[in-house]
């Protein structure tokens, strides 16, 4: 590991934020509020995070080797005291932390893709849905005909998934999912026919504290598009307290068995017959403002500040992680039809509505939205209210006000992956 000399007491500590994308802005803003010097690493010259940072490192967040080399070069002249991911980039953060002797996720945990997580969880006796690697279309067709339960085809290391329905051809599903995987690898997983939740948990001082559980809405098998798409979530969860306690225990068990001693866990959990099962895990802050908007508004806990302090190696008092009754919060997606975006309308009006916490649109005029309608949202709305019903009504009304005008793409482009 690289030896770094202590910083003079008069100098502010430096936090390296891996990602300068829009989703990283709340992390950068919180770090600045805490009096930290912020360095942003991103591969895009025009990443918005660079404009808020004290310094920038031009290095792709997905290229750990390049990011480590750039971080080493920077640290040779200016001490780096902590590194944190603001979206995808857990492996890069782990590699930088390992190289510079900083606090961060272990290389072993950060390297886990979906299939690796499932295999590791099963070996550790953590409840996960049945899953298997799929080498080709013939193997996928064999799984589809040989398994009675509903299945979803997923990229091993990319977003999205496709349900294997009666009218979905295995060849089409395999090709679409393989194209969405950076490594071209495909897996199949059993669908758990029950509620889904998203969890936000902090591991500090030997304790795992679940800050929030969000009820996730994914259309059931057989309803509408075959694509597996999160259509939003609501907080607080309406699950029975006994089920919520089982989820808390599952997350704590995951942290213990995977050796996550400090940091954050953003997990997806499915509940089948009252038994929670782990279906996804991110040992870092997400880039979708869940930790900076939804969780604080619903719990009163500044989850981003806690994550930053942990990344700096600080202790986080238990009192600051104690959730308090807050507003009900609802998140709803913004959709766009495939095509070249010609205009984004209504976002400012939507943001000015009562109880609107955030409106984020991730496309601009000239951007291409490829793929199939309903495959992936192009933004989101977060709204708050005294009741879930009020929050949901506000979020849905605001999302409907945002219009993405698009000129249709030629058929050979429109069939691509968004």
Last residue of a domain, one of 298, 326, 354: 326
Q: Residue 410 pLDDT more than 70? A: no
Split at pLDDT 50, 70, 90, the class of 224 is: low
Q: Is residue 116 in a domain?
A: no
CB 338 within 8 A of CB 406: yes
Average pLDDT over residues 259-266: 93
CATH code of the domain containing 152: 3.30.1490.20
Q: What is the mean pLDDT of the chain?
A: 90
Q: Is residue 358 in a domain?
A: yes
Q: What is the pLDDT of residue 165?
A: 75
13 by Cβ neighbours in 10 Å (0-12 / 13-18 / 19+) ranks as: middle
Average pLDDT over residues 237-248: 96
Q: What is the pLDDT of residue 222?
A: 56
Q: Is residue 185 in a domain?
A: yes
More confident residue, 160 or 1: 160
The reply to whether 358 and 241 lie within a common domain is: no
Average pLDDT over residues 31-42: 97
Q: Domain range for residue 166?
A: 130-190
Average pLDDT over residues 367-371: 80
CATH code of the domain containing 279: 3.30.470.20
The reply to whether 374 and 303 lie within a common domain is: no
The reply to whether 92 and 207 lie within a common domain is: no
Q: Is residue 5 in a domain?
A: no
CA distance 8 to 353: 47
Q: Is residue 270 in a domain?
A: yes
The Cα diameter of the chain in Å comes to: 67
pTM higher than the cut 0.75: yes
The reply to whether 162 and 49 lie within a common domain is: no
Average pLDDT over residues 328-357: 94
The reply to whether 246 and 163 lie within a common domain is: no
CB 90 within 8 A of CB 110: yes
The tokens for 354 are 């009562």
Average pLDDT over residues 191-217: 94
Q: Is residue 181 in a domain?
A: yes
The reply to whether 302 and 362 lie within a common domain is: no
Q: What is the pLDDT of residue 150?
A: 84
The reply to whether 208 and 311 lie within a common domain is: yes
CATH code of the domain containing 405: 3.90.1170.50
The reply to whether 201 and 143 lie within a common domain is: no
CA distance 260 to 282: 11
Average pLDDT over residues 343-372: 91
Model confidence pLDDT, tens digit, residues 75-92: 999 999 999 998 888 899
Q: What is the pLDDT of residue 238?
A: 95
Average pLDDT over residues 29-40: 97
Q: What is the pLDDT of residue 371?
A: 63
Split at pLDDT 50, 70, 90, the class of 8 is: low
The reply to whether 318 and 368 lie within a common domain is: no
CATH code of the domain containing 66: 3.40.50.20
Split at pLDDT 50, 70, 90, the class of 206 is: confident
Last residue of a domain, one of 268, 303, 326: 326
Based on the structure, what is the number of domains in the chain?
4
Average pLDDT over residues 109-113: 91
Q: Residue 145 pLDDT more than 90? A: no
Q: Residue 219 pLDDT more than 80? A: no
Q: Is residue 6 in a domain?
A: no
Average pLDDT over residues 221-245: 84
Split at pLDDT 50, 70, 90, the class of 415 is: very low
The tokens for 189 are 């997983």
Q: Is residue 393 in a domain?
A: yes
Q: Residue 416 pLDDT more than 90? A: no
Point out which residues pair with 356 in neighbouring strands.
Answer: 383
CA distance 23 to 360: 9
The reply to whether 377 and 394 lie within a common domain is: yes
Q: What is the pLDDT of residue 381?
A: 97
The reply to whether 181 and 247 lie within a common domain is: no
Q: What is the pLDDT of residue 147?
A: 75
Average pLDDT over residues 43-68: 94
Closest CA to 15 of 285, 311, 316, 317: 311
Q: Which residues contact 203 (CB under 8 A, 6 or more apart)?
A: 209, 255, 260, 261, 262, 263, 264, 265, 310
Average pLDDT over residues 66-76: 96
Last residue of a domain, one of 303, 326, 349: 326
The reply to whether 182 and 252 lie within a common domain is: no
């Amino acid at each position: 590991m690289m030896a770094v000399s202590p910083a003079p007491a008069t100098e502010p500590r430096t936090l390296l934020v891996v990602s300068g994308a829009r989703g990283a802005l709340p992390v950068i803003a919180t770090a600045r509020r805490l009096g930290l010097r912020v360095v942003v690493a991103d591969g895009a010259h025009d990443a918005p995070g660079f404009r808020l940072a004290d310094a920038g490192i031009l290095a792709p967040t997905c290229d750990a080797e390049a990011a480590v080399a750039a971080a080493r070069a920077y640290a040779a002249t200016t001490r780096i005291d902590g590194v944190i991911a603001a979206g995808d980039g857990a492996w890069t953060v782990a590699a930088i932390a390992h190289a510079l002797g900083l606090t961060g996720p272990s290389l072993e945990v950060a390297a886990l893709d979906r299939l690796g997580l499932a295999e590791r969880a099963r070996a550790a006796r953590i409840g996960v849905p049945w899953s298997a690697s799929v080498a080709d279309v013939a193997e996928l067709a064999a799984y589809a005909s040989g398994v009675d339960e509903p299945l979803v085809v997923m990229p091993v290391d990319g977003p999205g998934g496709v349900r294997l329905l009666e009218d979905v051809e295995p060849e089409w599903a395999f090709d679409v999912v393989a194209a969405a995987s950076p490594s071209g690898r495909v897996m199949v997983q059993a669908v758990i026919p029950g509620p889904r939740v998203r969890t936000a948990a902090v591991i500090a001082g030997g304790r795992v504290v679940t800050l929030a559980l969000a009820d996730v809405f994914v259309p059931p098998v057989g309803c509408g598009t075959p694509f597996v798409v999160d259509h939003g979530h609501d907080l607080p969860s309406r699950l029975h307290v006994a089920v919520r306690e089982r989820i808390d225990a599952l997350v704590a068990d995951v942290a213990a068995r995977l050796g996550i001693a400090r940091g954050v866990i953003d997990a997806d959990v499915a509940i089948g017959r009252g038994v929670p099962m782990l279906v996804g895990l991110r040992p870092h802050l997400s880039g979708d403002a869940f930790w900076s908007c939804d969780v604080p508004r619903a719990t009163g806990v500044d989850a981003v500040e806690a994550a930053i302090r942990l990344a700096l190696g600080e202790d986080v008092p238990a009192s600051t992680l104690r959730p308090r009754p807050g507003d009900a919060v609802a998140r709803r997606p913004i959709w766009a039809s495939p095509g070249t975006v010609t205009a984004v309308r209504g976002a400012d009006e939507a943001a000015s509505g009562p109880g609107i916490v955030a409106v984020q649109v991730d496309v601009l005029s000239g951007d291409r939205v490829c793929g199939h309608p309903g495959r992936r949202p192009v933004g989101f709305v977060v709204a708050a209210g005294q009741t879930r019903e009020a929050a949901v009504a506000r979020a849905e009304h605001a999302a409907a006000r945002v219009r993405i005008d698009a000129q249709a793409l030629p058929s050979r482009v429109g069939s691509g992956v968004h």
